Structure 1
Amino acid sequence: MGDCQKFHLDRNLPPEPPESRDGLRSTLLKIVDNGCINGIMRHHRYGDNETDQLAASKWLGERFGDVDLSGRIVLTNGAKNGALLLLSLVAKSGDTVVTEELSALAAWEIPRLLGIRVIGTPIDAHGILPDAFEQICRLHAPRALFTVPTLHNPTTHVLGLDRRKDISRVAEKFGVSIIEDDICGMLLPDAPLPFACIGPSNAWYVTGVGKTLSPGFRFGYIVAPTSQHARDFIARFRSTTTWVPSPLSAEIIAHWIADGTAKRVLAAVREEVTARQILATSLLNDCDIVAKPWALNLWLRFPMHQSAADLLLAARREGIFLGAASIFNTKSDRPTNSVRICLGGPSLREELQTALQRLSNLI
């Protein structure tokens, strides 16, 4: 290793703009100064109070437009926590869940924890293939489809509206619930509508602020198909572990949404992510990369005669840590010769530039 400096391009984090630090300092002072901090810290936030519902409706309105979300929103301790809860709600041990053949679900311990079987459905450059998904539904009778259709992790693809409609029709035909993880949806301006707007009777929506505002909040939302689904969800999980967000995180997020801080931080994150994507694609322009301007990562593909595993080892010797494609692969018999390169890990853009220059030399 050339020096002791380490570059973590394996952590899919958003950059932290000054607007985030300044906003947090200002909001914390306001919360303390208004004299109600003790009351805030003594009560759980399930999303069933007016302040949280108004804030959530305003924030999620960026994705849902004019769709009425009254009573359908539940607060959670982050998107991954929300995904765990929803999968445990719609599937039981021994059931089958479908996901993209390259999927964040494969990288998590959730399937093993719940005892569910995961089947990966084929994807192309635009996401899930509806015909392939229908064939899986016919053969395996899955209980749910878990999908990350917007700025997909790890390939960055965006599933178009027409395919979403086709997939929604297939899911409804076979009685399959849809769980949409939209953790990066806010990063993409004019992103396609969520499944919950297309097939509201069987679609659950889960998101968080970890990729858009700050991972430190551990805060997220679930949008249930109906208000009754939301009430049933809360009744089932109300006393279970620590699935609700910390009251302080919920209060800060409510303040940020109400006074516009959240929108300013999001805009700053988008701007920095776009700048980092431009930097990365310029330095790796001779490589086969898949990228979107607002994605937090690149997907680097290798031809058959080259080995992604060799690059992972060589990069690690140089202090550069990358994401192995194998952790996302649902099909162990079909290895993926690719690498995920995350752009938000280094605090400074200059650090990212140094890491990518070294990486380019290795490739």
Structure 2
Amino acid sequence: MSDAKFKQIAKTIEARIDSGEYPAKFKLPPHRALAYELSTTPATVAKAYQLLVDKKRVESFVGRGTFVCVQASLSEVIQPADDEQDYNFSILQPCLLQNLSPLRDAMMQATEQLNTQLMGYTEHSGHESHRLAGVVWAKHYGLIGGNSDNTLLTNGAQHALSLLIHALTEPGDTIAVESLTYPGIMAIAKSAGRHVVGVQLDDEGMCPDDLQQVIRLNRPKLVIVVPSHQNPTGITMPPARRDEIANVIAANNIWLIEDDIYGFLNPEPIAAISNRIPQLSFHISGLSKAISPAMRCGFLKVPDSHIAVLQAYIRANIWLSSPLNYIAAAQLIESGEAFQLAERQRQTAIKRQQMAKELLGYQGRETGFQLWWPLPEHWQQERFVMEAKNKGLIVSSGSYFKVNGEDPHHIRLSLMAISSEQRLQQGLIMLRDLAKSEFVMNPHF
């Protein structure tokens, strides 16, 4: 049999993967069965399968079979709607229509404050008044010890994460994260050549005992944790659990990155883990979830030992974040309007969580931007995502958030990106009906 034959079979299988006929984690037919269907030999099918293994489209396990790989990427997890009529349950962002008018006003006023000093280069990652605004913002939601020296400005929380991973680790190093985590962390680690290992979660967040075990076995250089309204599960660590995590970090003298971008959703401020271990922790906060992703205003509190190091990294990377954005941010924070906008988002999230609970019959969180929704057993995650998209419903498969261990068999639903509650209600009803329906695979499977 010619080489062209097994390559053509591989292309046929790839086409079935791309079309969704063979969804992610789907078990491919045995060699003999597919050979019969395609009028070839089992040996030729085996060569095609091996070619797809080499291309990382499938993976084979002795005694279990060959399965389609999950091709997770940020573009798949966080999808802009292709059509304005789509129901976008994918993007975790604030309900932007609520913030549009005050943000427009703040931006217009910011342009009136521009002068030669604000339009030029500056040291220390940004202007002092803007760094002090970040101190006020983070303190309001539970961080203490911030000042204009140890608080740096970044182009949002994602930039802060990338900056810290590159500054604190080397290629080949290991990073410990929650076993279900934001894929942006995994994307940074992968592109930087770092390894990621998951730490088990329970109802109170990252498990301290498992964190200790992971540190002992894997020797990670740093630990990343999302303590409030964790993405994707929505879990918020209570104070006692934060104490336990801090104790493990201190006992092992390891770096902690505390990504508290959702801290504003807590009904009352919860003391940051970083308060307990200020010289071992890096605390991230910002305005992208509370006000607008377009502001790209991130606030990074760092240990005294790393102020100069991180300033140098920022200078080499972007020199400084846009002062125009920070003029508007500082104005909103100093006037108190930023906190009012954040509280409005929190109240909207509470209302929408209640709506989702009533329509989907699932008890989620009291507040939070997302719902970690368990699928009925008869649905495979990627197949559900595909069928939902065919109906104009854009959702994120739970498998995209998995670091290691068993698949969660959940879908993450953003409840905030859809502007009107009427359309949100319509979309939730469509999701409910789809979940209740039966999907029948082709009989030759």
TM-score by length of 1: 0.90
1:8 deviates by 0.9
Return closer, same or farther for 1:47/1:293 CA change in 2, 3 Å cut-off: farther
Map 1:31-110 onto structure 2 (within 5 A).
31-34=110-113, 36-44=114-122, 46-47=124-125, 49-64=127-142, 67-105=145-183, 108-110=186-188
Q: Does 2:397 correspond to 1:319?
A: no
Q: Does 2:358 correspond to 1:278?
A: no
Equivalent-residue separation in structure 2 for 1:199 and 1:281 (angstroms): 38
Return closer, same or farther for 1:252/1:319 CA change in 2, 3 Å cut-off: same
- 1:4-29, Cα deviation, whole Å (9 max, x unpaired): 821110111111243x2222232233
Q: Is the 8 A contact 1:17 1:268 kept in 2?
A: no
1:316 deviates by 1.3
1:44 deviates by 5.0
Partner of 2:106: 27
Q: Percent identity?
A: 26
SS of the residue corresponding to residue 99 of structure 1 reads strand
SS of the residue corresponding to residue 238 of structure 1 reads helix
SS of the residue corresponding to residue 234 of structure 1 reads helix
1:49 deviates by 3.3
Return closer, same or farther for 1:224/1:66 CA change in 2, 3 Å cut-off: closer
Equivalent-residue separation in structure 2 for 1:132 and 1:303 (angstroms): 29
Equivalent-residue separation in structure 1 for 2:123 and 2:327 (angstroms): 9
SS of the residue corresponding to residue 245 of structure 2 reads helix
Q: Is the 8 A contact 1:31 1:37 kept in 2?
A: no
Counterpart pick for 1:6 among 81, 86, 90? 86
1:245 deviates by 2.1
Partner of 1:354: 426
SS of the residue corresponding to residue 419 of structure 2 reads coil
Q: Which moved more, 1:98-107 or 1:201-210?
A: 98-107
Map 1:181-192 onto structure 2 (within 5 A).
181-192=259-270
Task: Tell me the amino acid that sits aligned with residue 299 of structure 1.
Answer: W
Task: Tell me the amino acid that sits aligned with residue 28 of structure 1.
Answer: M
SS of the residue corresponding to residue 239 of structure 1 reads helix
Root-mean-square deviation (CA, aligned residues, Å) is: 2.2
Partner of 1:134: 212
- 1:142-195, Cα deviation, whole Å (9 max, x unpaired): 111011121000000011221211121112222211001111111212243212
Partner of 1:204: 282
Task: Tell me the amino acid that sits aligned with residue 397 of structure 2.
Answer: A
SS of the residue corresponding to residue 273 of structure 1 reads helix
Counterpart pick for 1:336 among 403, 408, 423? 408
Partner of 1:309: 382
SS of the residue corresponding to residue 132 of structure 1 reads helix
Counterpart pick for 2:314 among 217, 233, 237? 237
Equivalent-residue separation in structure 2 for 1:347 and 1:335 (angstroms): 31
Q: Is the 8 A contact 2:181 2:401 kept in 1?
A: yes
TM-score by length of 2: 0.74
Question: Unmatched 5+ residue regions in structure 1?
Answer: none
Counterpart pick for 1:16 among 96, 120, 131? 96
Q: Is the 8 A contact 2:126 2:320 kept in 1?
A: no
Question: Unmatched 5+ residue regions in structure 2?
Answer: 1-82, 436-445
Q: Is the 8 A contact 1:165 1:198 kept in 2?
A: yes
- 1:186-235, Cα deviation, whole Å (9 max, x unpaired): 12122432121011121111122111111111110101122x42233102
Return closer, same or farther for 1:222/1:330 CA change in 2, 3 Å cut-off: same
Q: Is the 8 A contact 2:264 2:346 kept in 1?
A: no
Structure ranking higher on relative contact order (CA contacts 8 Å, 6+ apart): 1
Task: Tell me the amino acid that sits aligned with residue 426 of structure 2.
Answer: T
- Count residues in correspondence: 353
Equivalent-residue separation in structure 2 for 1:175 and 1:105 (angstroms): 26
Equivalent-residue separation in structure 2 for 1:140 and 1:16 (angstroms): 41
